[in-house]
Structure 1
Amino acid sequence: MKISVIIPVYNAENYISQAVQSALQFEEVFEVILVEDKSPDNALIVCQRLMEEHDRVKLYQHPDKQNHGAGASRNLGIQNATGDFIAFLDADDYYLPNRFDAEKELFQNPDVEGVYGAIGVHYYSEKAKEQYYKIFEDRLTTVYKKHNPQDVFPGLLNMKGSFGLFSLDGLTIRKSALSKVGQFFKTQLRLHQDTEFIFRLSFYLRLYSGLLNTAVAVRGVHENNRITQVDVGKIKPSSTRIMLWREVNNWAQHENLISNDIKKHIERTLRSYQIAEASVPRKWGMITKYLFTDFRSIKSGLYNINFRKYLL
């Protein structure tokens, strides 16, 4: 195997060295591609040093040297990758020694176009753990049991009960299969480009489960994670998820191979977020209105808002 590991780098000077070293431990890793995205810290200097120290580390920036986001940075990495397989890693995360154990076996079958595994969580500080433990606890992010490839797409859409999920850190793709996907990461999405990309991958490619009961990579949680700030409400989650599901819906409606049942399910999911977004400004008025007359409705309404807030 010749694996290209793609790492978008933004504001990660304290973490990027660990991420790179965790990828270089594998002989199968042919190259580590760093895409520095105009970080406000000293990440570029750290990346330059890593490139000088390791022959397998390559460093890129966007042609205009400006910030373009994680999706565009991953796209640039894919375009410059020369390995036969693509793996991803966030700059503040890291691989574990078993990262490619299942992949080395499964990819011997040419029908396997992608393999996904479980990831764990690491808190970089007690403050980060105090803030975000209620979101991640010490759980694995994983798919709960092995599934046939054709069941992965509807499973990720929550159409098959308790399915679970996987992240880019635990995903490896056969590079030649990416031609089936069309556009790589949707750069118009501010967040959740990875979720939208995984949805399309799971529809077009034959994705197989690797290690599901033990972590193959670790999500690093600290105070400045953009996605954790969304999860705890520091960044408004509903609008970014509306953008995600609107993009998924637009794609699905133009894909003739997607069944009408799935298209309707995606439309309903988008609509649920739109309803939740519209209801938030009225929440406190609702509480005032029914405080003494219908407390049960208040309780139910707040529950529904919070439930939608923490959906994917």
Structure 2
Amino acid sequence: MNNEVSVIIPVYNASLFLEKAVHSAIGFDEVKEIILVEDRSTDNSLEICEKLAFTHSKIKLFQHPDRGNHGAGATRNLGIKKATGTFVSFLDADDYYLPNRFNAEKEIFKNSKIEGVFGALGVEYITEKGKEEYQAKFKNTPLTTVNYPAEGEEVFKGLLGLTPRIFGTFFHLNTLTLRKSALEKHNLRFNANLRVHQDSEFIIRLAYHCYLKAGIIDKAVAVRGIHDYNRITKIIQYSPQYNQRQYVYWKSIYDWAIGEKSLPLAAKKRIYLIYKSFDLSQKKGAVKYGYILFESIKNPDILRTQYRFNYLK
């Protein structure tokens, strides 16, 4: 893997953290290039990007052709387009890699069947307010990871909650390394229309189309910086704004699932029930309960999903 990884960093208003993120990636022998894609920041992030690109040949700076703001999905897509490495990995501009970031990949990618490797993400509390908001939403969870090693179809099933053992519902993009050829083969890109949850939506589709394998999942390979400006901690769970965002996210997954002829029926049903739960949460007034009654008669399982209280409230 030496000199084969393109690290893609979308940059938007990250001036306080960007240099640490870049420096955490630049020293790896595995890293061929660091692709900074600046998304029309309103702070001095662009100036920092230009300085970094000037000082090190590994660092390459790009902007959207119109130099506009297009969101993280479209920005990562541009990074994938510009990447020249055999592998691509991702890093948020306010996070950083740890020294063991590519340890698992060195061995796992010797198997040509493996198209992607993921690991565990740790946390660093940068501000006290950020810490309070994060712990209020996620408790004192030291790692974002899955519960046991898995690969192939079990990763996709696990993310949808379709495995006998509880796999875990998420692994973070910062810990993911992919063969670029797999992205091209399956025409996989981020949904540029999603301004939030585009990473989670991408991971679901990725796990279906590509053969993924767990790497280091019991200790962190990268760290998420927790500060006052993390969007993930600003929305109260099961609030109207939370339900709206989840609805948009799961509608995108549902629309994708409809077009996938070979998608297992159990997966299609699971995706539909989650999507419909958040869809029902958007209904208002007395008519809402008519929709709930109709849906529960048509699909009784919706009353047994973990998301049922989204719309029963």
Partners of 1:21 and 1:267 lie apart in 2 by 42
Partners of 2:133 and 2:200 lie apart in 1 by 24
Secondary structure of the residue aligned to 1:236 is helix
Secondary structure of the residue aligned to 1:189 is coil
**Deviation per residue, 1:14-54 (Å, 9 max, x gap):** 00000000011211100000000000111001111111111
Q: Which moved more, 1:148-157 or 1:228-237?
A: 228-237
**Deviation per residue, 1:190-211 (Å, 9 max, x gap):** 2111111101110011000100
Shift of 1:307: 10
Whether the 8 Å CA contact 1:180–1:204 is kept in 2: the answer is no
1:93 partnered with 2:92: no
- Counterpart residue number, 2:155: 152
Task: State TM-score, norm by structure 1.
Answer: 0.87
Shift of 1:237: 1.3
Partners of 1:142 and 1:91 lie apart in 2 by 20
Partners of 2:311 and 2:155 lie apart in 1 by 23
Whether the 8 Å CA contact 1:192–1:244 is kept in 2: the answer is yes
Whether the 8 Å CA contact 1:180–1:205 is kept in 2: the answer is no
Partners of 2:63 and 2:243 lie apart in 1 by 31
- Counterpart residue number, 1:270: 275
Say which of 40, 43, 65 aligns to 2:42.
40
- Counterpart residue number, 1:70: 72
- Counterpart residue number, 1:201: 206
**Deviation per residue, 1:268-306 (Å, 9 max, x gap):** 111111223336x78xxxxxxxxxxxxxxxxxxxx9647
Shift of 1:235: 8.7
Question: Can you give the 5+ residue segments of structure 2 that lack an aligned partner in the other structure?
Answer: 287-306
Q: Which moved more, 1:139-148 or 1:1-10?
A: 139-148
Q: CA RMSD in A?
A: 2.1
- Counterpart residue number, 1:191: 196
Partners of 1:258 and 1:157 lie apart in 2 by 13
Partners of 1:31 and 1:135 lie apart in 2 by 35
Whether the 8 Å CA contact 1:170–1:217 is kept in 2: the answer is yes
Alpha carbons of structure 1 residues 306 and 221: separation in structure 2 relative to 1, 3 Å: farther
- Counterpart residue number, 1:118: 120
Alpha carbons of structure 1 residues 222 and 308: separation in structure 2 relative to 1, 3 Å: farther
**Deviation per residue, 1:164-188 (Å, 9 max, x gap):** 1211001000111112332401111
How many positions carry a matched residue from both structures?
A: 288
Alpha carbons of structure 1 residues 156 and 22: separation in structure 2 relative to 1, 3 Å: same
Whether the 8 Å CA contact 1:118–1:216 is kept in 2: the answer is yes
1:30 partnered with 2:32: yes
Say which of 238, 245, 249 aligns to 1:244.
249
Secondary structure of the residue aligned to 1:278 is coil
1:240 counterpart letter in structure 2:
R
Whether the 8 Å CA contact 1:11–1:39 is kept in 2: the answer is yes
Alpha carbons of structure 1 residues 132 and 211: separation in structure 2 relative to 1, 3 Å: same
Partners of 1:8 and 1:103 lie apart in 2 by 23
Identical-residue share of aligned pairs (%): 49
Question: Can you give the 5+ residue segments of structure 1 that lack an aligned partner in the other structure?
Answer: 283-302
Whether the 8 Å CA contact 1:142–1:212 is kept in 2: the answer is yes
Whether the 8 Å CA contact 2:277–2:308 is kept in 1: the answer is no
Shift of 1:120: 0.7
Alpha carbons of structure 1 residues 272 and 304: separation in structure 2 relative to 1, 3 Å: closer
Whether the 8 Å CA contact 1:132–1:232 is kept in 2: the answer is no
